[in-house]
Amino acid sequence: MKRIALLTSGGDAPGMNAAVRAVVRVALYNGIEVMGIRRGYAGLLEKDIFMMDRSSVSDIIQRGGTVLRTARCDDFKKLECQKKAVDILDDYGIHSLIVIGGDGSFRGAQDLAKLGVSTIGIPGTIDNDLAYTDRTIGFDTALNTVHEAVNKLRDTSTSHGRVSIIEVMGRNCGDIALYSGIACGAESIIIPEKGYDKDELIENILTGKRKGKLHNIIVLAEGVGGAYELAEYVENKTGLEARATVLGHIQRGGSPTVPDIILASRFGARAVELLIEGKSSRVVGVHENKIIDLDIDDALAKERVFDSELYHLAEVLSL
Ligand code: ADP
Ligand code: F6P
């Protein structure tokens, strides 16, 4: 194996650049050339491919986003497009590809593997929604972003004695809400894995008021959604003022935290090693601080186990 290619795909995540850097540097260290593909599978189909060198990844370890840029490309789900991609890779003398992204990106990598390209996936998404790995690149940074934002909202909520409903990202996964909710000392955390009872929520807010709480912080996962409607409902039912804030894409930006940079560097290094070992159709992950790798299909088939203990802890701590 003399040459590999690398792309980032799906939603960007802070730390992706650190993974890109690690892939390039570990490959070069082992005498392997790296071609960068811009804008994910869309760029691959448009031959947006260039040779990377040591300096292509200088000064990016601390930067958010992805220097390779990213895209969502629906066409890539079609077999004809995947075959075209294989031909393009072949023209460039590329038979091995590392894909940094989420489950959708991994499905694309698996399709390419079935057509003969050696592929390895690196989990890069703020959502932390992949069951096979304890952490995905970007999750820790997103939590810190939410933490900072909620602390600011808490100041103004306290001053006004308001209820603050903060909607955070995560698609159908409640991890960003659950972990940030604990870190922010939220009074309530609403996540799709658990659902919620509106009457209980109102009772909780009124109990908090009776106890003398000056604010009420509710972290709501986007998988449940409806922050503005919920704020209106809370106002009507409690007589308290309520404000909704949808944090949105701010959660995807910013410099990665140290844990994300280190995780991304370890993932990038292991992905290259797997290709050197002749492996394909695998994804890297982390479990109990050890880097692991699994078959892509097995990894995607794993079902997430809801951490009910952590959810219970959040309830107890918000007493
Ligand atoms: P993520 O990788 O973050 O989950 P998406 O679900 O949007 O993000 O997937 C990213 C890209 O991966 C898609 O735009 C598409 O190009 C590719 N992809 C997603 N699902 C498949 C699939 N079933 N087969 C082939 N490619 C796919
Ligand atoms: O998967 C990352 C994520 O930020 C989700 O949390 C969110 O639902 C989605 O991407 C937003 O996608 P887009 O950037 O296409 O609006």
Residue-wise pLDDT for 47-89, tens only, equals 999 999 999 999 999 999 999 999 999 999 999 999 999 999 9
Q: How many Å lie between the centroid of ligand 2 and the Cα of residue 161?
A: 32
89 lies in some domain: yes
Answer whether 171 contacts ligand 2 (Cβ < 6 A).
yes
CA-based nearest residue to 250, from 167, 136, 132: 167
Quick one: 57 and 160 in the same domain?
no
Quick one: 234 and 182 in the same domain?
yes
Residue nearest to atom 1 of ligand 2 (CA): 11
Residue 116 has phi, psi (to 5 degrees) of 105, 0
**What's the number of domains the chain is made of?**
2
pTM above 0.95, yes or no: yes
Quick one: 127 and 143 in the same domain?
no
Is residue 137 within 8 Å of residue 122, measured between CB atoms? yes
Quick one: 263 and 129 in the same domain?
yes
Check residue 287 and give its pLDDT: 98
Return all residues near 135 (Cβ < 8 A) that are at least 6 apart.
128, 263, 286
Structure token pair of residue 219? 């972290």
CA dihedral 108, 109, 111, 115 (to 10 degrees): 140
From the candidates 12, 111, 127, 293, which is the catalytic residue?
127
Share of the chain above pLDDT 70, in %: 100
Quick one: 200 and 264 in the same domain?
no
Residue nearest to atom 1 of ligand 1 (CA): 102
* Residue 197: Cβ-neighbour burial (10 angstroms; 0-12, 13-18, 19+): exposed
- Strand runs (DSSP E) across the chain, as ranges? 3-8, 33-37, 49-52, 96-101, 118-123, 163-168, 188-190, 216-221, 242-246, 282-287, 290-295
Check residue 293 and give its pLDDT: 98
**CATH code (residue 290):** 3.40.50.450
Quick one: 246 and 287 in the same domain?
no
Quick one: 39 and 166 in the same domain?
no
Is residue 277 within 8 Å of residue 297, measured between CB atoms? no
Pick from 171, 246, 250, 251 the residue to mutate for probing ligand 2's pocket: most ligand atoms within 8 Å of its CB. Answer: 171
Answer whether 77 contacts ligand 1 (Cβ < 6 A).
yes
Q: How many Å lie between the centroid of ligand 1 and the Cα of residue 82?
A: 12
Check residue 195 and give its pLDDT: 87
Q: Closest ligand 1 atom to the C-alpha of 101?
A: 2
Quick one: 148 and 241 in the same domain?
yes
Q: Closest ligand 1 atom to the C-alpha of 11?
A: 3
Check residue 14 and give its pLDDT: 98
Is residue 131 within 8 Å of residue 302, measured between CB atoms? yes
Say if residue 288's pLDDT is above 90. yes
Check residue 252 and give its pLDDT: 98
Q: Which residues pair with 217 in a beta bridge?
A: 164
Q: How confident is the model at residue 214 (pLDDT cuts 50, 70, 90)?
A: very high
Quick one: 70 and 214 in the same domain?
no
- Closest-lying ligand to the alpha carbon of 76? 1
Quick one: 127 and 37 in the same domain?
yes
Q: What is the average per-residue pLDDT within 149-170?
A: 97
Answer whether 140 contacts ligand 1 (Cβ < 6 A).
no
Strands 242-246 and 282-287: unpaired
195 or 115, greater pLDDT: 115
Final residue of a structural domain among 216, 237, 252: 252
Answer whether 127 contacts ligand 2 (Cβ < 6 A).
yes
Residue nearest to atom 15 of ligand 1 (CA): 73
Average pLDDT, the chain: 97
Q: What is the average per-residue pLDDT within 106-128?
A: 98
Check residue 1 and give its pLDDT: 82
Answer whether 105 contacts ligand 1 (Cβ < 6 A).
yes
Q: Is 127 assigned a catalytic role?
A: yes
